Amino acid sequence: MKVIEVENLSKTFRVKQKEKGMKGSIQAIFRPQTTQVRAVDKVSFKVDEGEVLAFIGPNGAGKSTTIKMLTGILYPDGGSVKVLGIDPVKKRRQLAYQIGTVFGQKEQLWTHLTPYDNFKFFGAIYDLSDLETERRIRELTDTFALSEFINTPVRNLSLGQRIRCEIAASLIHRPKVLFLDEPTIGLDPVVKENIRSLIKRMNQEFNTTIFLTSHDIGDIEKLCRRVIIVNSGRIVLDDSMAHLQFADASLEDVIMKIYSNGSA
């Protein structure tokens, strides 16, 4: 079964521009200039159940825009999206019950509450019964080794502990697909490794499909079996990890080459 099906997906943004100096400031009042930016340009791909996919590209390549269209945050301008057979545009809430999202730089937890209270809150959001929420919290506490700080307010946790809680919270409802947008950003190497092995275990134990964006080569090498590289809104490479590593150069070199070609 295809978990994600994307056909000719496109999204255009209108961006305001201003020329420099006092003259530009005055000009912008009377004649505001805008340009169209094609953030995502006719992107098509499919993802199988249980796959771990790296969706990477340089800053501003359209990664986040794509992830946001897959999760129902943004409306596409063109093309079609199906996640678990559901159209995120039409049935956003129905889809939301079955997917999990972690945006590395944005917090979804209440920082003045303990992880436990946060999990209870998310349990309520996903319509779990109290009994079931408790059971899930126990499971997640074991899997993510949260027991020593489950009752400490989130704002007093270290970044690594916090991101573990973020990921755990996004799993409370056993999502079938997990979208991870730079989950290891700003973490030290030990914690990074820890998070990676957790993601790996989740994929193996529950066959959760994982859709990951990251700038960290380590994340990609250690986790993913397939890589899609986007640049300027287009897919420039879609290949299996095994195949990529056959090449003489390291993955890092391959990626660097593609990034710099695309933007030239």
Q: Which residues bind other proteins (CB under 8 A)?
A: 13, 15-16, 18, 21-22, 25-26, 28-29, 35, 37, 39, 59-60, 64-65, 68, 71-75, 91-94, 96-99, 101, 103, 106, 108, 110, 112-113, 117, 121, 124-129, 131-132, 135, 173-174
Report the residue number, 96 or 167, with the smaller CB distance to other proteins: 96
- Work out the end-to-end distance of the chain between its first and last CA atoms, rounded to an integer number of angstroms: 38
Q: How far is the CB of 131 from other proteins (least distance, A)?
A: 6
Q: Which two tokens stand for residue 37?
A: 């930016």
Report the residue number, 90 or 148, with the smaller CB distance to other proteins: 90
Q: How far is the CB of 179 from other proteins (least distance, A)?
A: 8
Angstrom distances, CA of residue 125 to CA of 22, 114, 120, 170? 50, 17, 9, 11
Q: Please state, in angstroms and rounded to a whole number, the distance separating the CA atoms of residues 156 and 228.
A: 37
Q: How far is the CB of 117 from other proteins (least distance, A)?
A: 8
Q: How far is the CB of 107 from other proteins (least distance, A)?
A: 9
Report the residue number, 43 or 254, with the smaller CB distance to other proteins: 43
- Which residues, including other chains, have CB under 8 Å from residue 16's CB and lie 6 or more apart? 32, 33, 34
Q: Please state, in angstroms and rounded to a whole number, the distance separating the CA atoms of residues 184 and 248.
A: 28
Q: How far is the CB of 225 from other proteins (least distance, A)?
A: 25
Report the residue number, 92 or 225, with the smaller CB distance to other proteins: 92
Sign of the torsion angle spanned by Cα atoms 186, 189, 191, 196: positive
* 8 A C-beta contact, residue 108 and residue 169: yes
Report the residue number, 68 or 164, with the smaller CB distance to other proteins: 68
Q: Which two tokens stand for residue 210?
A: 């994982």
